[in-house]
Chains A and B, each alone.
Chain A
Amino acid sequence: MFAVDAVSYAYLDRFTALDRVSFQVAAGEKVALLGANGCGKSTVLKILDGLVFPDSGTLRAFGQPVTEDHLEDEQFSAAFRGRVGFVFQNSDAQVFSPTVREEIAFGPLQMGLDRDAVEDRIGDIAALTELRDLLDRAPYQLSGGQKKRVALASVLVMNPEVLLFDEPTAALDPRNQQWLLELIVELNRWGKSIVMATHDLDVLELLADRCVVFSEDHRVAAEGAPGEILGDRALLRSVNLVHEHFHAHGSTVHSHEHGHSGAHTHGHEPARTPGEDRPTSP
């Protein structure tokens, strides 16, 4: 579906965002792009969506090269935009229309769907994303969680084959997070490919079939199944995805690596090394 080959990109020709990055995404796959802040995950998503173009290297999508030149072709551009949907991290940038209804209608109208079909789709997608009561609201009247739903609805309404998510659960409350995670899993069951930039290791096993790990020098450090990646402590430490952490279990405060889903559910053994496990009560 996507083939990224030796892609490099630098902002303002000075600040490297990606350095010879290569990976592939197969149809129906859930791929997580993992890495610390600033490692280039969002830039990769923008390249996959044809919003920025590599300084060197190539991107192929659905067997076709994706370049600025190709996207100037109206037919190719319409086909590509219809097949790839991008949910931005910043919902405020994505929700730009005066009302929720118009926001959801924007994509399908640009793709040339007639107004009756667009109205029908708005109804269906509003029901799916629980936005029916908010259709005539202005974006400034919505909460952060509602804006994220609108952003997702405005992309889903175009029925893309691939969904790109940039930090989908960032700044969402637990209820909205859970709702979104369940929907992403459901979308994948319906045949949509998912590519997601995240540094949330807790949701990895649920949301990814495969992980591409980015190092802080903007390269691909590893690829593999979530279990494999989460088990490689040295790798996670080298890309700054886990860190030393101390916390309390009852009366015992102790420290250990933190960063994956089992971090707070592990068992306890008596303190071994002074300074590592510290009882707080006598």
Chain B
Amino acid sequence: MSPATPGWLLRPETGLCPCGCLGKRRKGSYVEKTIEGGADLLRRVMFTDDVAARDGLLQRVDPRVKVLGLVALIVATACFRHLSALMAMYALASALALASGLSVAFFLRRVWLFVPVFTGIVVLPTTCSFLTPGTIVVPLGTWFGSPVGLTNQGLTSAGLVVFRVATSISLVVLLTITTPWPRLLDALRSLHVPRMFVLVVGMAYRYIFLLLASVTEMYTARKARTVVDSRDVAGGRGFVSASAGALFGKAHATSEEVHQAMVARGYRGNARTLHRMRLGPFDLLFALMAVVVIASLFGADRLVRV
């Protein structure tokens, strides 16, 4: 033993209870779940890369045509005034998902898991006769002698909002899941979205994973040294803020190094890229179909009076 070796380092610490008894079980904390969610995001992105590589209908369309076509469909969706037109557009989005080799369950889950939570809560009060007067279809009782309930007009306008959001999200999901990320960025570049914006978005996407891995590692390192889970809320907050600070420092150092790596290879503020895309007959057909669908649904939406 070296004279500098502390005595306690040579004695074993108390480990598992020798009688084999079990302690209290605790579920993961909010921080743990959030970080696991981040890791899960990485897995999902890898899964979406697989989907984008499949031989489906939307995967065959040139990304520029796809961006323009689907954005036009989203704009049209925002303009529809009737639930039937929105439902028809949603049905079309689902048909496109099927034709592109997406699993129906995945597609529905991706959209309907969040729409009711975020949009539904927002529009729920508008269904009530207090906010949207009209014909009560679901009576809820009386308030100072007046009947109170969900009105036909309120439910219709709530349905319009929910379906509009669901359809728009479905179309965005279709675009992002059937197009590899680099090709989507290429498409934005060729559609004259500012080059610097596309470069920054591309790098942000690239480095999210690096920083995500750092956060996961920091948390895992903490967890590996956590002997007793004592639900230390203040300690948890401290860890989150310290991690955020460390991550900020890391992100800053990385950004400086990335800039140096770019300058070292000749970057002078105007990045040139490799993209080269050509339109084929299939792309033109897709664009034509998008125009026909928008015109038909838009016409039908305007013609229907009720």
Residues of B within 8 A of A106 (CB): 262, 265, 267, 271
CB <8 Å contact, B272 and A97: no
CB <8 Å contact, B206 and A139: yes
- For B, the interface residue count at a CB cutoff of 8 angstroms equals 31
Interface residues of B in 245-304 (CB under 8 A from A): 254, 257-258, 260-268, 271-274, 276
- For A, the interface residue count at a CB cutoff of 8 angstroms equals 39
> In this assembly, does B130 line the interface, its C-beta being within 8 Å of a C-beta of chain A?
no
CB <8 Å contact, A81 and B266: yes
Residues of B within 8 A of A82 (CB): 266
Complex Cα distance, B263 from A78, in Å, reads: 10
CB <8 Å contact, A110 and B266: yes
> In this assembly, does A233 line the interface, its C-beta being within 8 Å of a C-beta of chain B?
no
Surface stretch bound by B, among A87-95, A182-190, A213-221, A253-261: A87-95
CB <8 Å contact, B274 and A109: yes
Interface residues of B in 216-252 (CB under 8 A from A): none
CB <8 Å contact, B274 and A140: no
Complex Cα distance, B281 from A127, in Å, reads: 34
Interface centre among B49, B202, B273 (most CB of A within 10 A): B273
Residues of A within 8 A of B185 (CB): 98
> In this assembly, does A111 line the interface, its C-beta being within 8 Å of a C-beta of chain B?
yes
Complex Cα distance, B263 from A94, in Å, reads: 11
CB <8 Å contact, A78 and B260: no
Residues of A within 8 A of B264 (CB): 49, 51, 81, 84-86
> In this assembly, does B205 line the interface, its C-beta being within 8 Å of a C-beta of chain A?
yes
CB <8 Å contact, A140 and B273: no
CB <8 Å contact, A98 and B181: yes
Q: Can you pick out 30 interface pairs between chain A and chain B where the beta carbons lie within 8 Å of each other?
A: A49-B264, A51-B260, A51-B263, A77-B266, A77-B268, A81-B263, A81-B266, A86-B261, A88-B257, A88-B260, A93-B254, A96-B261, A96-B262, A97-B202, A98-B202, A98-B205, A102-B182, A102-B274, A105-B274, A106-B262, A107-B266, A110-B265, A110-B267, A118-B274, A138-B49, A138-B181, A140-B210, A141-B49, A158-B265, A158-B266
Q: Known contacts being A88-B257, A98-B182, is A154 close to B265, with CB within 8 Å?
A: yes
Residue of A nearest to B184 (CB): A98
> In this assembly, does B203 line the interface, its C-beta being within 8 Å of a C-beta of chain A?
yes
Helix, strand, loop or mixed for chain B's interface? helix
CB <8 Å contact, A140 and B268: no
CB < 8 Å neighbour of B46 from A105, A118, A141 = A141
Residues of B within 8 A of A78 (CB): 266
Residue of B nearest to A113 (CB): B272
Interface residues of B in 47-106 (CB under 8 A from A): 49
Residue of A nearest to B213 (CB): A140
CB <8 Å contact, A140 and B209: yes
Interface centre among B49, B202, B273, B274 (most CB of A within 10 A): B274
Residues of A within 8 A of B (CB): 46, 49, 51, 74, 77-78, 81-82, 84-86, 88, 90, 92-94, 96-99, 101-102, 105-107, 109-111, 115, 118-119, 136, 138-141, 154-155, 158
Interface centre among B263, B266, B276 (most CB of A within 10 A): B266
Interface residues of B in 176-227 (CB under 8 A from A): 180-182, 185, 202-203, 205-207, 209-210
Q: How many A-B residue pairs have CB under 8 A?
A: 90
Complex Cα distance, B209 from A141, in Å, reads: 10
Residue of A nearest to B185 (CB): A98
6 new A-B contacts at CB < 8 Å, known A77-B268, A88-B260, A96-B203? A49-B264, A85-B265, A94-B261, A96-B261, A98-B206, A119-B274
B256 → chain A closest CB, angstroms: 9
A183 → chain B closest CB, angstroms: 19
CB <8 Å contact, B265 and A107: yes
Residues of A within 8 A of B182 (CB): 98-99, 102, 138
> In this assembly, does B42 line the interface, its C-beta being within 8 Å of a C-beta of chain A?
yes
CB <8 Å contact, B274 and A74: no
Complex Cα distance, B182 from A105, in Å, reads: 14
Residue of A nearest to B260 (CB): A51
Residues of B within 8 A of A86 (CB): 261, 264
Residues of A within 8 A of B266 (CB): 77-78, 81-82, 107, 110-111, 158
Q: Known contacts being A77-B268, A110-B267, A111-B266, is A101 close to B206, with CB within 8 Å?
A: no
Residue of A nearest to B267 (CB): A110
Residue of A nearest to B264 (CB): A86
CB <8 Å contact, B258 and A96: yes
Residues of B within 8 A of A101 (CB): 274
Complex Cα distance, B209 from A77, in Å, reads: 32
Residue of A nearest to B266 (CB): A110
